[in-house]
Amino acid sequence: MNIKINWKLMILVVFIFSLVIFGYKEYQKNIKYEKYLSQELFNSYSELKVIIFTIKEVLTSLLTSQADSNTKTVLADHLQRTSMLTQELDYYISIFKTKDDEELKNKSSLVTSNFAYFFQQNDANTPLDEDIDKMNSLNEMIETWMDVIINEYPGITNENKYEILYEENKGGDIFIRNHKWKSIITSLDRVSRNYEGVSQN
């Protein structure tokens, strides 16, 4: 009778030990994937912030008549890339099911895509009055976007943006758990809603 009890106990111990090993392996696998996804997200998020500053620079040259023949193409490309990046980041916020997800309306991607189409279809170097109004509206939106970023990253400028982004990621924290990027993307979306109408053609 005692031998049977010992065998049962041994089987139970082996079973529990197997569960612990399996759970640990799954945990390690999840951490590895989380780190990979975090790096991918950080790359997209960083690229988005860099592009926003670049769009502002290009827009300024356009609005101050310092543009060249490639300016509108560069601007259209940057806006289209912004549309793709915001769509990607919006998607990741939505699958996390946080309070940020409830506020998202996915307008940043739509609005920047609309503006990109405008620059693809119109000669921004010889604009009509209504074209200038649209460019001024885009400039206003981008400046407000930059205010959102500067509010979270005091002192960030076009010149030091790479250093500040590097500093944020070098600590080894898992970026996907950081609330700051979700807050910024949600705030950009909130700003974008005000420009949906003017961005349409």
CB 89 within 8 A of CB 185: yes
Q: pTM for the complete prediction?
A: 0.80
Average confidence (pLDDT) over 153-182? 74
Q: Is 54 exposed, middle or buried (0-12, 13-18, 19+ CB in 10 A)?
A: middle
Average confidence (pLDDT) over 100-107? 72
Tokens of 124: 């921004």
The residue that leads in pLDDT, 160 or 162, is: 160
Query: Which tens digits make up the pLDDT trace of 113-145?
Result: 999 999 888 776 677 777 788 889 999 999 999
Tokens of 35: 């780190």
